[in-house]
Amino acid sequence: MPEIQLDNKLEFCLCPHYIWFNGKIIFPKLTITGGIIMGWQVTVDVDKCTGDGECVDVCPVEVFELVDGKADPVNMEECLGCESCVEVCETEAITVVEV
Ligand code: SF4
């Protein structure tokens, strides 16, 4: 399990629908903000993925599994949008976009 460091500058949450993770505002799945249900699309470029498993280790909600030596976002519906996987991926194989 990765070590989670909360941003010490952030002392409270502005909205009960938001949470802080890794120093960022993130939106839990199915959060309703302004009447819109928000989610995250996680994509892995398999040509860039080296299968080092860094994203598997860092993801707090176990979105990734290694399948045939490549990261596969098999539990994408659990994504919190923290982008920790994007940050640890040395080959920039992962993208996370709000949908
Ligand atoms: S952004 Fe990446 S590390 Fe964060 S929850 Fe989603 S898949 Fe996991």
Q: What is the pLDDT of residues 28-87, one digit of tens each?
A: 544 444 555 568 999 999 999 999 999 999 999 999 999 999 999 999 999 999 999 999
Q: For residue 64, give the nearest of 47, 48, 84 by alpha carbon.
A: 84
Residues with CB under 6 A from ligand 1: 40, 42, 58-61, 63, 79-85, 96
Q: Against a cut of 0.75, is the pTM above it?
A: no
CATH number at residue 50: 3.30.70.20
In a domain, 28, yes or no: no
In a domain, 22, yes or no: no
| Atom 6, ligand 1: residue with shortest CA distance | 79
> How far is ligand 1, taken at its centre, from the CA of residue 18, in Å?
15
In a domain, 11, yes or no: no
How long a stretch of residues is the chain?
99
Q: Give me the domain span that covers residue 63.
A: 39-98
Q: In the numeric block, which tokens belong to residue 85?
A: 């996987």
In a domain, 70, yes or no: yes
The CA–CA distances, whole Å, from 37 to 7, 21, 32, 46 equal 26, 20, 5, 29
In a domain, 59, yes or no: yes
CA 31 to chain CA centroid, Å, is 15
In a domain, 64, yes or no: yes
Domain count, the chain: 1
In a domain, 77, yes or no: yes
